């Protein structure tokens, strides 16, 4: 077992020795202290009353872990998973007059990059970013755009590419709490994928903020003996514009088309010999309005054909987006 991703609605976790890291969504009960890096997604699972969801990344050992600059991390010989949370209120504004969130995102990513250099796992594969009030405005700028500024500054400071060779990622809004980031990194680089139906996020024009988001639409990664496809948070965007504002069903359909396109891009260069497919991925849907969850599930059901779908109430990076979906799958290399 080089890398495996498991999803469970039971509170019991797999044996500590195999867990690289994990996360919980909703309000888990009786978790107790985690022996591995753990990210809490502070958002309700949908529909209302659904049990909390637990996800784990499992790998071959031996494992070792540590804590550096507020990052709880765990790794084996080739992969590292880490979690860091920062209270933006405790961060001093940047010298140029930026906001506390901008400062927090820069500090957080600078710490992350220092850890990856020190651990010899320099390549970011997948990042999960969660922040409070993502569409709110302060300091003359939407908070998501503040976050993008800080993240971009950290990439530049670490002399990393800000376009092209960048990780898959999502950035999602929750009701409150710290800036929370979990990440998976490795010794080998990812193969970034872009969607021909969309402008690459890192090429967005300035109307979406002073700095474009730093992520690829999807990425293929190669842990030992495996091929992993990570589809970033994907929404109803064609070119660089939101389409179907106010229509959650149409946004779901457009989002599925974008994911299907990324699956096709992955299959053009995939090495496993087993094609990826929409219904072969596990999916997480972030739904802005809880009342829309039935429509989301009903619209996606014909495409899913039994594939895993977890729905979460959360805000999306644009105020006119009603749903965002992220997806992933791991195949053995050499499978027929």
Distance CA 265, CA 262 (A): 5
Contact predicate 216/198, CB 8 Å: no
Distance CA 71, CA 83 (A): 6
Nearest CA to 6 out of 75, 57, 51, 59 is that of 57
Query: CA 230 from chain center: how many Å?
Result: 9
- pLDDT, tens digit, 9 for 90 and up, residues 114-170: 999 999 999 999 999 999 999 999 999 999 999 999 999 999 999 999 999 999 999
Contact predicate 259/231, CB 8 Å: yes
Per-residue HEC secondary structure of 236-256 comes to CEEECEECCCCCHHHHHHHHH
What pLDDT was estimated at residue 16? 45
What pLDDT was estimated at residue 272? 86
Residue 180 has pLDDT above 90, yes or no: yes
What pLDDT was estimated at residue 334? 74
Helices (H), ranges, the chain: 100-119, 143-157, 248-269, 293-304
Q: Which two tokens mark 82?
A: 């880490």
pTM: 0.96
Distance CA 140, CA 176 (A): 20
Nearest CA to 256 out of 321, 185, 187, 324 is that of 324
By DSSP bridging, strand 137-138 and strand 141-142 are: antiparallel
Contact predicate 73/183, CB 8 Å: no
Q: Which two tokens mark 101?
A: 């969130």
- pLDDT, tens digit, 9 for 90 and up, residues 45-80: 999 999 999 999 999 889 999 999 999 999 999 999
User: One of 153, 227, 254, 324 is an active-site residue; which one?
Assistant: 324
The residue whose two tokens read 């820069």 is 106
The alpha-carbon radius of gyration of the chain (Å, integer) is: 19
Domains of the chain and any CATH numbers: 4-332 (3.30.1330.40)
Give the C-alpha distances (Å, rounded to integers) separating 174 from 57, 266, 313: 23, 30, 8
- pLDDT, tens digit, 9 for 90 and up, residues 7-29: 988 655 555 458 999 999 998 76
Active site residue 254: no
The residue whose two tokens read 């979906």 is 325
Q: Which two tokens mark 117?
A: 């250099």
Contact predicate 155/169, CB 8 Å: no
């Amino acid at each position: 077992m080089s890398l495996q991703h498991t999803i469970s609605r039971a509170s019991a976790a797999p044996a500590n020795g195999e867990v690289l890291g994990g996360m919980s969504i909703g309000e888990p009960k009786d978790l107790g202290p985690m022996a591995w890096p753990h990210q809490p997604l502070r958002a309700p699972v949908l529909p209302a009353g659904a049990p909390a969801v637990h996800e784990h990344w499992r790998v071959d050992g031996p494992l070792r872990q540590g804590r550096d600059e507020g990052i709880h991390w765990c790794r084996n010989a080739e992969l590292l998973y880490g979690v860091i949370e920062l209270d933006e209120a405790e961060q001093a504004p940047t010298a140029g007059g930026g906001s506390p969130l901008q400062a927090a995102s820069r500090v957080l990513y600078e710490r992350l990059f220092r850890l990856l250099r020190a651990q010899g796992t320099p390549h970011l594969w997948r990042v999960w970013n969660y922040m409070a009030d993502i569409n709110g405005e302060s300091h003359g700028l939407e908070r998501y755009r503040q976050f993008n500024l800080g993240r971009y500054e950290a990439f530049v400071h670490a002399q990393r590419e800000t376009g092209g060779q960048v990780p898959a990622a999502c950035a999602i809004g929750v009701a409150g709490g710290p800036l929370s980031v979990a990440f998976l990194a490795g010794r080998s680089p990812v193969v970034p994928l872009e969607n021909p139906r969309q402008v690459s996020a890192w090429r967005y024009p300035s109307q979406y903020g002073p700095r474009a988001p730093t992520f690829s639409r999807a990425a293929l990664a190669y842990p030992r003996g495996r091929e992993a496809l990570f589809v970033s948070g994907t929404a109803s965007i064609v070119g660089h514009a939101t389409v179907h504002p106010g229509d959650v069903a149409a946004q779901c359909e457009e989002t599925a088309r974008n994911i299907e396109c990324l699956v096709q891009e992955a299959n053009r260069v995939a090495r496993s010999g087993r094609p990826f497919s929409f219904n072969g991925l596990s999916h997480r849907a972030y739904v802005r309005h809880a009342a829309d969850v039935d429509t989301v599930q009903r619209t996606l059901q014909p495409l899913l054909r039994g594939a895993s779908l977890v729905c979460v109430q959360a805000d999306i990076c644009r105020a006119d987006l009603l749903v965002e979906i992220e997806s992933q799958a791991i195949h053995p290399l050499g499978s027929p």
